[in-house]
Chain A
Amino acid sequence: MIFSTKPEMATQEIQPNETLTNLKAESDTLKTKLEDERAKLHDVELHQVAEKVDGLGQFIMKTRRTLKGHGNKVLCMDWCKDKRRIVSSSQDGKVIVWDAFTTNKEHAVTMPCTWVMACAYAPSGCAVACGGLDNKCSVYPLSLDKNENLAAKKKSVAMHTNYLSACSFTNSDMQILTSSGDGTCALWDVESGQLLQSFHGHAADVLCLDLAPSETGNTFVSGGCDKKANVWDMRSGQCIQSFETHESDINSVRYYPSGDAFASGSDDATCRLYDLRADREVAIYSKESIIFGASSVDFSLSGRLLFGGYNDYTINVWDVLKGTRVSILFGHENRVSTLRLSPDGTAFCSGSWDHTLRIWA
């Protein structure tokens, strides 16, 4: 979907002497109208359309690698474009770069703060970004000289007024998108540390973000403690779509591979699917037996499967189309805090408060 970067056309009529009660009533009427409009086009449910699709057979995925080395809770991880390396960050301030295939550690940095809640691998594979309670996002170029202190070349890029919850490079090493406990997201120029655009609209901490894989490459989605998932135009800073159906904090958002939808994971123990063209929630992935929050979600390459890491130490695998759970994966000994599919879809990695990361395939 191509969003115009021109200003929205406002055609409302607001009389100068309108009272607060009138405006509130007007707002409520509009919200109802909006739901009606959305509902008019909702002529069928996803699982109904999916009836004609074959069900999934027995599903076997196992832990293929266990990465041990963090001294405390693993909070975040990201894959390198080479499909085998990863970067992970933990509560004790350590950021580690691994070759997950051999399980060798290749680089390690100790951050000056604890709770490094966000980390990201640069597209070139030559740097990593990370941050957390220091309210910053810093970029470390990866040096192959084992004697070199990585921290010496550290570059401070982003500056928020509260903790950094997530970060992601955009299509190049030159720009970073961040989200923060200060309620905003921001786009930064890495070289100069300049703020390029800020995104205001969440009413509370922003916990997660994901960049859209669209042709025009101009949007991203964020989720927050205000239970909202917002879609943003990176160029104008405007919020162009907003979804509020979760009943608690949204911990994770991830685009469906085509870019036409995104999934969310929340403390309300559900994952949901939102379609951007229909402008509504189209599926809820939940079970009565799942009562702990979902911390992180990602799709398989074809978008048929949704992997959810939960606070009850498990990973649930969902059939995106039919809405059913196809498998539950045990292994971690504490909360699953982070989960991402590898760039070529051959595996996914989960990180946990049990200090380890696991590769599943």
Chain B
Amino acid sequence: MTHQFPSLSPEQKKELSDIAQRIVAPGKGILAADESTGTMGKRLQKINVENTEENRRCFRELLFSSNPSIANSVGGVIFFHETLYQKSDSGKLFPQVVKEKGIVVGIKVDKGTAGLNGTDGETTTQGLDGLSERCAQYKKDGCDFAKWRCVLKISDGCPSALAIAENANVLARYASICQQNGLVPIVEPEILPDGAHDLQRCQYVTEKVLAAVYKALSDHHVYLEGTLLKPNMVTAGHSCTKKFTPQEVGMATVTALRRTVPASVPGICFLSGGQSEEEASLNLNAINQVPLHRPWKLTFSYGRALQASALAAWQGKAANKGAAQEAFCNRAKINGLASKGEYKPSGSADQASMQSLYTASYVY
């Protein structure tokens, strides 16, 4: 590490930094609408809708043509490749529809996971081949940020040192290539919630994974001010018998991030994983109320946690479009408030939700 060689000019750095700031402007987060064709198949099957290109277009049209006030809560939308070239009912390309609302357009650029031989079912993520050329084209086609998802899991033998190092490295390569082409890379090292592990174990693993990610980003000379992080919240595994409050989730999550994510990263946009819409909002809200100094924006990058109600209201019927859009706008607004720690759930004001429930004596 003796000499610095040029990576980005000051103008390129400023462009990336400005884009990142716009996406995570106060009160805003990201709509992850980048479900692959296969994943959309699963979503549509739940409401008995056929997985055709037109139906996928219809549903995304529903989301993107919502009331323009959506831009108060949504700073960016992540597209899937197919969707980037589809048009609204009025014949306008979707990126343009979104941009006209003042929302930044992003694109999923990874090509899914691939097995790591010799591990216990662990994976890395592919998609680096020709990535530079693809990024240049996406930039021309209206994108200003990209997303790449790596996956790790917790079990007796996982995550292994190889899985952590390999995924951190591939995320850093992707980030470096994106920045060369004017795209802000969203770095997503998801640790799955599958398993019976407790909150503490998830926190430990998350800290190790994120430390490796930021070391790799440093090694690859990535400009941190022009990146965003999309991590899992720190939660107990799905089959963990112990229940934890949003305050405990918040404290564990913020502690992990404070120990690993440099202050120069402008924003952290949590994935919702398997959480319900309400759970994801309550946890995000709790995260933004944790009494520790948080030098980055802490907001959302939600897929299911923004779309589930809308999908259920739609049922594939044009007549339900308005109701579906309202459901979507409602969740967006709630998450916008949660990203400022201002979400006050009405209705069932159970005694617990009002009090701080995290054990003050527990040192995370």
A binds B: no
Where the two chains meet, the residues of B that have a C-beta atom closer than 8 Å to any C-beta of A are none
